[in-house]
Every structure is written in C-alpha cells, then in structure tokens.
Amino acid sequence: MSIEILFVGTGDAFGSGGRRNSAILVRSAGRTLLLDCGPTTAAGLKTLGVDPREIDAIAISHFHGDHVAGVPFLLLDYLYQNPRSEPLEILGPAGTRERVERLAADFEYGVDPDGAFPLRYRSFEIGRTLEVGDFLVTPTSAHHAPQTRPHMLRVETDRRALFYSGDTGWHEELPDKVGDVDLFVCECVYMQAGAYPLHMATEELVRTRSRFRCRDLRLTHLGREVLDDLDRVPFDTADDGLRITL
C-alpha cells in the first residue's frame, strides 16, 4: 500500500520565506494522518484544496506553538465550518489533551465537541506503537527543548515507512532511530553546525549522511539561513504544497 505525503507547511517558527508552519498530511488506503498542526494549518489545507474532515488523526510531535497551536482552529472548523461526525484522534506527548484544552481556552474558543463527533486522545510512550487505521505510529525521543516533550515519529503501513523528525538537533543515536525507512523527513533550520544544538544543520547532515540507512531524505522546517542559500543545499527540500508518493 503506497503512502501519499502532502507537505502543508514547511517553514520554521518564524514563517521564514513566507512558508507555513509545520504540518504534513499522510494518506494511505483512504485514511489520513496529520503530522503536526502549526497555527497556519487550517489556511494551508484550504489553500491546497483539502477538506479538513478527511483527517482521521492528528499526531503532535511536541508542544512548541509552531507544531501544536493550530489544533484549536481545526477543532473550531469541525464545529462551525465543516461539521464532522467521523471520530477524530489526537496523538501526542503525555499531557496533549490538557495542552489542547488550555490553548483553546486561552484563545477563547469553546471546542469541546460535546457529542458532535467522537474525540479521543492517546499519549505517546517511547517505543510503543499506536495503530491508527492502517498506519502504525511509533514515537521515539528527540533532542530538543525538554519542556516541549519532543518526539520523532516513525509512520508505516504494511509496505512503506517514513520517519519524521519533528524538531530535533543532531545526536549520535539519530541514524539508528531513523532506521531503514523509505523517507526521512528531517527538520533543518541552519546551514552551519553548532549554531543551535536543538535544531539540525545541513553541515551536520553532510558529515553524517553515510550513517543513515534511509532510502531518501528530504528537508523541512527550513530556516532563513537555509532558504537564503537553497542552491547550495545538497539535499532534497520540501516546499509548501509538495506532494510525493512512497
């Protein structure tokens, strides 16, 4: 079974280059999983002609706003603009439910579906695989701001697998965590290594690429430094709206 990937948002937290914040739609066998949900996600889905109701589950990698702050807006959409009756699952680090409810309250939105559609939350445990339709989602730890409870996610069907870095800096275990997937979607904010250890840099990936066993690697969460020098980046990069099939 193939996996279709639609990059909804490929920018960093600052919207560098006019890009949307992190959000990646993953489709297989009529099921849709959204990896991260930055604040620009609802607008992105509509720009790309995606009906938000096709999303069966949202997986949040960590609690930085550019990855999670769009969830209350999607819930709002499901209540007022595109009413849904199908169940929705939200997967994320421990405390995701409280985080989403707190964000919605801070935004002054009442987003409790109150029976309009079933809403279920499930928490990540390192190494424990969650089944979402035909998808298997396996979280691992990331090297990122610890208070955000950072995770990376392996997403697989019976035939294809991808690995999503969420936000992470380089760490020695990273190539083994990624494993032999078809595609590694890796965040990359910087060109020069060492600028900020909690994000990736192209220099780091050039140095270590041979240690990764993934078939393909594609960069996302692109920072200003990378975008300013895109011609010199020796890796595939994702743009908002890019579609690829594994």
Q: Which is nearer to Zn ion, 66 or 204 (CB)?
A: 66
Considering beta carbons, is residue 138 or 168 the nearer one to Zn ion?
168
Q: Known catalytic residue: 66?
A: yes
C-alpha 101/C-alpha 245 separation (Å) is 34
Name residues contacting Zn ion, limited to 89-118 (CB under 5 A): none
From the list 47-55, 64-72, 130-138, 151-159, the region that binds Zn ion by CB under 5 A is 64-72
CA distance 191 to 97: 35
Distances (CA, A) of 236 to 17, 34, 202, 232: 17, 21, 11, 11
Dihedral in degrees, nearest 10, Cα atoms 216, 230, 152, 182 = -10
Span from 39-47, 167-175, 204-212, 225-233 in contact with Zn ion (CB under 5 A): 167-175
36 lies in the site for Zn ion, by CB under 5 A: no
Half-sphere exposure of 60 (CA within 13 A, CB side): 31
Nearest approach, Cβ of 195 to Zn ion (angstroms)? Answer: 15
Q: Is there binding between residue 66 and Zn ion (CB under 5 A)?
A: yes
Q: Cβ 189 to Zn ion, closest distance in Å?
A: 8
CA distance 7 to 9: 6
Question: Phi, psi at residue 15, to the nearest 5°?
Answer: 65, 30
Q: Which of 77, 167, 204, 240 binds Zn ion (CB under 5 A)?
A: 167
Asked if residue 149 binds Zn ion (CB under 5 A), the reply is no
Length, in residues, of the chain:
246
Catalytic residue among 12, 36, 56, 66: 66
What is the C-alpha to C-alpha distance for residues 95 and 99, in angstroms, rounded to an integer? 6
Q: Counting contacts by CB under 5 A, is residue 218 touching Zn ion?
A: no
> Minimum distance between the CB of residue 183 and Zn ion, rounded to whole angstroms?
19
Catalytic residues: 66
Note the residues at the interface with Zn ion (CB under 5 A): 64, 66, 167
